[in-house]
Structure 1
Amino acid sequence: MRYDKQHKTAIRQRILDMATMRFRSEGIAAVGIANLMADLGLTHGGFYWHFKDKEDLVAQACRQAMEHTSQQWQHQIQQAETGQQRLAVAQHYLSIQHRDFPDTGCVAAALAGELSRHTAPARQAFTAGLQQQLDTLGQAAVQDGSVATSPFTPAVQLSLMVGALLLSRAVTDGELSARLLQEAEAMIAHYSPLSGT
């Protein structure tokens, strides 16, 4: 049976969506192509109509997830009060909900360690996505007026947020987990334009 281009595009997107979610929640190495396709009710061989190999899927999933995170940040920035753009991103990112649902969250916090051992295409997709996130934080700093006064460059803020989220997911002490998120947010808030600092 022959399928039209629209059907093929829809199937490819289903594979990509499922892979993106499972990579973040289970890790890249834990997700096999045969298992992924079976969960979607598709054949293993059908995978290769859509992606060259698993590394191609990893790169595309990483690109999609990073773009989604940047879009979420843009939304937070647009909804933020004047002078609170960067803080709004931090509050969204450093939330208990984000901590507890890695399958829909930030790729950097979920997969950076694994991606460092992958091939160039996957790492290039991650690099491009990370640069987009830094650009988004840079735009927020211009909008909220913190670009000239805050020691929190976009790279510092992103590193602080990713590190705090990663550690908060790894520890077994719930109080410590919450404190890691709260103190990272408080540090970013301290240098926001409306803090008076």
Structure 2
Amino acid sequence: MPYTTEHKQQTRARIVECARVLFNRKGFTEVSIDEIMASAGLTRGGFYNHFRTKEELFVEAVAIYQDFNPIDRWPQLDFDPERCGTAFARQMVDVYLSREHLDDIEGHCPMIALPSDVARAGAGVKRAYHSLLERMAGMFAQSAGASAGAQAARRHGLALAALCVGGMVLARTVEDDALREEIRAAARSTAHDLID
């Protein structure tokens, strides 16, 4: 009996989620299709029922983060998607630059976990990463207010995104916990200054 469309979609989603976790842990090149499928409880042969290549899967693993809800991963954080303007931007900074996000290797945003892999990847992966960056910068740009003008708001959004991502990338690479905290806190404080 053939699988239902819903079953196929659920299986595909499971493969993408397992791949996302493994890519975050080990990077794109260090993860094999066999490893991804084993993590999903499936065989390698099943991979090709859903994806043509590992890079096609990588595109989806990056893209699914656009629908990421931080409360699903870190319910103890204060995040309300109904907030607007500067209140929304401040909470985004607080969640993105949170200790929970920093310590959760498997839950990292791909912009933190995978920038080197994306830089070496094909056009599809770069487009997914670009889209994720545009979405983040756009959310921050909205906090600049209508009076700032479109170009200034975009610059503001890009600067905040770069500060958040860059701060977390640096903090993630440092083993000294005191310095990790100092980097994270400095990025957070400076981001708040830019918002207020």
Smaller-chain TM-score bracket: 0.7 to 0.9
Larger RCO, structure (CA 8 Å, separation 6 or more): 1
Distance in 2, matches of 1:161 and 1:40, equals 31
Q: How far is the alpha carbon of 1:142 from its aligned partner?
A: 2.5
The answer to whether 1:183 aligns with 2:186 is yes
Within-5 A mapping of 1:12-31: 12-31=12-31
The TM-score, its normalising length taken from structure 2, stands at 0.85
Q: Which amino acid aligns with 1:78?
A: E
1:37–1:47 Cα contact (<8 Å) kept: yes
- Specify the alignment match of 1:66 in structure 2: 66
Within-5 A mapping of 1:32-181: 32-68=32-68, 76=80, 78-79=82-83, 83-142=86-145, 147=148, 153-181=156-184
Q: Which amino acid aligns with 1:46?
A: G
1:16–1:57 Cα contact (<8 Å) kept: yes
Q: Which runs of 5+ in 1 are unaligned?
A: none
2:167–2:187 Cα contact (<8 Å) kept: yes
The TM-score, its normalising length taken from structure 1, stands at 0.85
Q: Which amino acid aligns with 1:66?
A: Q
Percent of aligned pairs sharing the same letter: 27
C-alpha change, 1:192 and 1:2, in structure 2 (3 Å) is closer
Distance in 2, matches of 1:83 and 1:138, equals 10
Equivalences, count: 188
What is the RMSD of the two structures over their aligned residues, measured on CA atoms? 2.6
